[in-house]
Amino acid sequence: MLENKVIVVGICGGIAAFKSAALVSQLTQAGAEVHVMMTESATKFVTPLTFQAVSRNHVYIDTFDEPDAGKITHIDLADRADLIFLAPASANTIAKLAHGMADNMLTTTVLATKAPVVLAPAMNVNMFDHPSVQANLARLVTYGYEVIEPDAGFLACGWTGKGRMPEVPQLLEYIQMHATPNTALANKRVVVTAGPTREAIDPVRYLSNDSSGKMGYALAREARNRGAHVTLISGPTVEAIPVGVEVVSVKTSADMYEAVLARYDDADVVVKSAAVSDYRPMHVYEQKRKKKADDDWTLALAPTADILRTLGEEKHAQLLVGFAAESEQVERHAREKLARKNLDIIVANDITAEGAGFDVDTNIVSIYTKDDHCHHYEKQTKAEVARHVFDEVEAYEKRCARP
């Protein structure tokens, strides 16, 4: 998604500058054209040579360093940038930008650009909380800049509190969100369900499944990258919360049913990738049931509400996408489910195939549509599969001329 994007990464003075080397490296590996600008203070923490090596481009520090006589470098990069990302952003640079000061390569470029500008402040907790810093950040927001809230934790200065720059994977999500062009999904309301549900047996036992939520979280990130307003309704999972996505946490199938139905009328697209329990115990013990010698235990189970079928029955203008995790006759079961539950699209996979089951980072899927289109995809990462799913969604909407 970042292939050939021009991203200017600004490095300010602060210990968090060491994280930015990994960030620049990953952006370069993702195919972006990365140009690093450093303040003089930043060079005291990490050498320019480090960033030159990982970006494979000249590192800019001095405004008057013009390697190409045919260009004014800071204007050229300000014009070509798809995104300017300051990580870490120091209190000093924040103050300069808030008051229009352009006294170094970085501030001069930022003030000259029309590209989105994102700042990741990193500093001592008391400095971050100071009224002048907060006022400067608020002013930058009114200018249209985005400010990433720092994380809380142990700081290099010895204090504990808010001031840590987020880790590289989270920073990459912000960059993907801003550097990816909007598509036909822009400003659409997309609901994605993810993860397993848990049906209590007693206070310590429950029925569930092996779903990790990885596929659903990848789908939420992809929809967000395409400009959609995304709500992710998630069962219990250890997956990191996606940046820029509303997350609703649920536990049981009944919780998920209520959460999805409450948002269904306002949704444009619903992607139902959660592995919802099909059954729940008819009786839930208030206390832990003790194990007894030679004591068989039979659980009476009742079916849970069929969320996908209900959505299909109540559908009016929404585009509804379901998932079919099958262990045999995958195409037959998927096509039957597509028709039976009144879906527009179904994504099917064989959970017995290597690299396609639960709790792995890859998937092997076939996508079937209501208007009888079908595409089969080889093993790919779940992020790549998510792109295929939303490509199919956009293609289906175009074919059916949906609003």
Query: Active-site residue 374, yes or no?
Result: no
Instruction: Extract the tokens encoding 156.
Output: 């290099």
Quick: pLDDT tens for 38-92.
999 999 999 999 999 999 999 999 988 887 777 888 899 999 999 999 999 999 9
Cβ-based neighbour number of residue 44 at 10 Å: 12
Q: Does residue 401 carry a pLDDT above 80?
A: no
Distance CA 14, CA 87 (A): 10
What pLDDT score was predicted for residue 293? Answer: 76
Mean pLDDT of 248-275: 97
Contact of 54 with 25, CB cutoff 8 Å: yes
CA atoms lying within 13 Å on the CB side of residue 123: 19
Mean pLDDT of 264-287: 95
What pLDDT score was predicted for residue 188? Answer: 95
Contact of 271 with 389, CB cutoff 8 Å: yes
Distance CA 277, CA 110 (A): 51
Contact of 281 with 332, CB cutoff 8 Å: no
Q: Is 189 helix (H, G, I), strand (E, B) or coil?
A: strand
Its pTM stands at 0.84
What pLDDT score was predicted for residue 359? Answer: 79
Quick: pLDDT tens for 14-53.
999 999 999 999 999 999 999 999 999 999 999 999 999 9
Quick: pLDDT tens for 197-216.
999 999 999 999 999 999 99
* Selected catalytic residue, list 12, 157, 374, 400: 157
Give the residue numbers of the binding site for CTP. Answer: 278, 288, 323, 337, 341
Mean pLDDT of 302-329: 94
Out of 110-119, 243-252, 288-297, pick the least confident. 288-297
Q: Does residue 354 carry a pLDDT above 80?
A: yes
Mean pLDDT of 252-267: 97
Over the chain, what is the mean pLDDT?
93
Rounded to 5°, angle at Cα 117 from 126 and 14: 35
What pLDDT score was predicted for residue 292? Answer: 81
Give residue 163's identity as a one-letter amino acid code.
G
Q: Is 350 helix (H, G, I), strand (E, B) or coil?
A: strand
What pLDDT score was predicted for residue 402? Answer: 58
What pLDDT score was predicted for residue 335? Answer: 95
Q: Does residue 144 carry a pLDDT above 70?
A: yes
Give the residue numbers of the binding site. Answer: 278, 288, 323, 337, 341
Distance CA 391, CA 389 (A): 5
Compute CA distances 8 → 45, 183, 322, whole Å.
19, 23, 39
What pLDDT score was predicted for residue 360? Answer: 86
Taking alpha carbons only, the member of 260, 365, 273, 368 closest to residue 318 is 260
In order of their start, the domains of the chain are 6-179 (3.40.50.1950), 189-284+301-400 (3.40.50.10300)
Grade residue 351 by pLDDT with cuts at 50, 70 and 90.
Answer: confident
What pLDDT score was predicted for residue 71? Answer: 84
Instruction: Extract the tokens encoding 18.
Output: 């060491």
Instruction: Extract the tokens encoding 340.
Output: 């039976």
